[in-house]
Structure 1
Amino acid sequence: MQSKLKVALAITLLTLSLTSVAEPKRPECVAPAKPGGGFDLTCKLAQSGLVDLKLLDKPLRVTFMPGGIGAVAYNAMVGQRAKDNNSIVAFSTGSLLNLAQGKFGRYTEKDVRWLAVVGADYGAITVSSNSPYNTLDDLIQALKKDPSKVVFGAGGTIGGQDWMQVALLARAAQVDPRKLRYVAFEGGGETLTAMLGGHIGASSSGLGEVLPQVEAGKIRVLAVLSDERLAGAYNYIPTAKEQGYNISWPVIRGFYMGPKVSDEDFTWWQQRFEKMLAMPEFDQLRTQRGLFPMNLTGKELEQSIYQQVETFRALATEFDLIK
């Protein structure tokens, strides 16, 4: 009887310890780029979901920490803010690709705590609405004729996610990716400004981050990099695959925390995200931002990320991106 009481008491104390963890005093979502791109979108989605759905009592600030397409924020969280229980940091598939290539310095995918994935986007090849390229094949034929005549722009350096989408497209079209003209920007917002200003001819990004400009008629999507046409309002956008180019690039969007955040604080955030992801109202918020369902947390997410980074290391080696 005493042993049963001890077990019951231990369970009660554990439950109380988890539920008694205080809400962070100044909850913050760090977007590791300038405003206007995919990281901004990811933080704004968490802001709407956690605050509007009453899962946070305090406002969730969105702050910006550009530099190295995520490297500055990653290094800050690991090296300077390792115990910071206030802050979650947005990441994407591109972050994992950069980690695979060692672009975050001495830190690896095992140096942070992966919190949650809240949705998926898909890569997209876009041009301005007045571009001479009306279809993906128009763009491909121009590349085949003279790769130097088409200037691509995207948020990230050579080897980054947006560049990789263009490189895979070039390879599928039998064009040497090393001959592409590519201009790197610090985030999707700067890329869009450059394309609308006529400074670049085409862009690679996530579909979700350009949808406002698509809906405003400012840019045109030549292809979405999904296996099949997307459901609902975006079903009119052709895939690269159906146009003869076998490329697919899903873009996960989620959050991580510092490596020394306590288990109690980490669990507090994880529980909030799991509640949010289970709510139909959140699904509506996600859809409004052009994202599609993908829900992962905890150990399942951690293992998925470790496997993805290994896959990207192999891909980066194939493109001679790892020295």
Structure 2
Amino acid sequence: MAGCSSSNSNSGSSATKSDYPKSNISIVAPSGAGGGWDLTARSIAKTMNDTKLIEKPIQVENKPGGGGAVFMAQFATKEVKNDYMLMVKSPPILINHDKAEGNSPYGYKDTRPLAQLTRDYGAIVVKKDSPYKTLEDLLNAIKKDPKSITLAGGSAPGSMDHLVGVLPAFKFGIDPASVKYVSYDGGGEAIAALLGNNADVIATDASTIATYVKSGNVRVLAVSSSERLKGELANVPTFKESGVDAEFTIWRGIFGPKDMSDAAFNYWSEKLKVMVETEEWKAELEKNGWESEYRNADDFTTYLEEQDKVIVELLTALKMQK
């Protein structure tokens, strides 16, 4: 196997096992700061560097646009051989490829999956002083006048936050297409829209909203888990407890480019397997309210194949599939 022709981290060249990594590494969160991808990327970088599992500096880059679709196109084409650029992603890597509106031509098969790391859930959130006290209150208001309620999320129409937000409405007998949805680039921007009175309700990651719950700025009406969560959201009912027969799991994982060298792939596979067992990583999970769910590359790829079928089924039911 040929070695690197250059030590430039952005050269896109592959590396041999003996010299990888030769230079700094980037983990991309394809969204703005403050959302689940951003926090996951920063937790990986921090843990790898703090534990000295990886001694080369790891920097996190935010590359927002299209709910992750803009950078996905770059990752699948321009960075296809770049061993020094990785990406954090979650169900939108499937959804953006499977949906009809704003479809991305690139999906998980245009990457090299490395590992699933965490499991999270969706949350339906309003401001603390909102007139909607329960999920049923909100759904009744939407049913009465869909256009009077603005639902916001940190992903594009037909993508993850949108699906989390309209899933309860769909199960409640509301045409999901009638729900007024406004998209932002990342959960942080969606929360800002809610707090700035530019949205009546947001759909977001349960873990990222806990800080705002603790500060007293927002109220979570329901979460998409099968059982109640812990911590700040312990008293929040599930969709099912709220009378809506639905669940939605937000997994998060890390991906290499499709033509990542075997040397870099094996290096990261080994490091990630060790990382998830460290006390430093467990502290990051606890701090962010995430549940650990590690799958190695092979198991993660199989899981992605299974989840892709679930997403297609959901989009088909919502008449949003390509």
The question of a shared fold, defined as TM-score above 0.5 by the shorter chain, is answered with yes
Q: Distance in 1 between matches of 2:51 and 2:217?
A: 33
The structural deviation recorded for 1:232 is 4.6
Q: 1:244 to 1:270 in 2, by over 3 A?
A: same
Aligned to 1:208: 207
Query: What is the one-letter code of the residue matched to 1:32?
Result: P
In 1: Cα distance, 2:60 partner to 2:217 partner = 27
Q: 1:223 to 1:23 in 2, by over 3 A?
A: same
**1:1-323 paired onto structure 2 within 5 Å:** 20-101=18-99, 105-323=104-322
CA–CA distance in 2 between the matches of 1:25 and 1:188? 31
In 1: Cα distance, 2:300 partner to 2:54 partner: 23
CA–CA distance in structure 2, aligned partners of residues 18 and 296 of structure 1: 25
What one-letter code is carried by the residue in structure 1 that aligns with 2:257?
Answer: G
The separation in 2 between residues aligned to 1:317 and 1:137, in whole angstroms, is 25
Q: Measure the CA separation in 1 of the matches of 2:259 and 2:31.
A: 24
SS where residue 57 of structure 1 aligns?
A: coil
Is contact 2:156-2:162 (8 Å) kept? yes
Secondary structure of the 1:295 match is: strand
Who wins on radius of gyration, i.e. which is larger? 1
Is the 1:128–1:195 Cα contact (8 Å) retained in structure 2? yes
Aligned equivalents of 1:163 and 1:268: distance in 2? 36
Which has a greater percent of helix? 1
CA contact (8 A) 2:214 2:232 kept: no
1:109 CA displacement: 2.4
Per the alignment, in what secondary structure is the counterpart of residue 182 of structure 2? strand
Q: Please say which of residues 226-235 and 288-297 is displaced more in the overlay.
A: 226-235
For the residues of structure 2 that align with 1:24 and 1:148, how far apart are their CA atoms? 54
Residue pair 1:123, 1:224 contacting (<8 A) in 2 also: yes
Q: CA deviation at 1:104?
A: 5.7
Please give the secondary structure, in 2, of the residue aligned with 1:98: helix
1:295 positional shift? 0.4
Aligned residues: 307
- Spell out, residue by residue over 1:227-281, the C-alpha distance to the aligned partner (whole angstroms, 9 max, x if none): 0112355322211111211121110111111111101111101111100112243
How big is the shift at 1:212?
1.6
Report the CA distance shift for 1:284/1:21 in structure 2 as closer, same or farther (over 3 A): same
Superposed CA RMSD in Å reads 1.8
State the SS of the aligned residue for 1:243: coil
Aligned partners of 1:63, 1:104: CA distance in 2, in Å?
Answer: 24
Shift of 1:84: 1.0
Give 3-state SS (helix, strand or coil) of 1:282's partner. helix
CA distance in 2, matches of 1:131, 1:233: 19
Where 2:81 maps in the other structure, the secondary structure is: coil
| Amino acid across the alignment from 1:211 | A
Contact kept in structure 1, 2:25 and 2:58, CA below 8 Å = yes
Deviations 1:29-56 (A, max 9, x none): 1010111212111111112221122211
Q: Unaligned regions of 5+ residues in structure 1, if any?
A: 1-16
Contact 2:126–2:202 under 8 Å retained in 1? yes
- Residue identity (%): 31
Deviation at 1:106, TM superposition (A): 2.9
Secondary structure, counterpart of 1:275 in structure 2: helix
Structure 2: 5+ residue runs without aligned partners?
Answer: 1-14
Measured at CA, do residues 109 and 128 of structure 1 come closer, stay the same or move farther in structure 2, by a change above 3 Å? same
How far residue 77 of structure 1 moved from its aligned partner, in angstroms, is 1.5
Q: Which residue of the partner structure matches residue 8 of structure 1?
A: none
> 1:318 deviation in Å?
2.4
String of CA shifts for 1:197-248, please: whole Å, max 9, x gaps: 1111000011112222121111111111100112355322211111211121
CA contact (8 A) 1:99 1:309 kept: no
SS at 1:165's partner residue? helix
- Quote the offset at 1:23 in angstroms: 2.2
SS at match of 2:46: helix
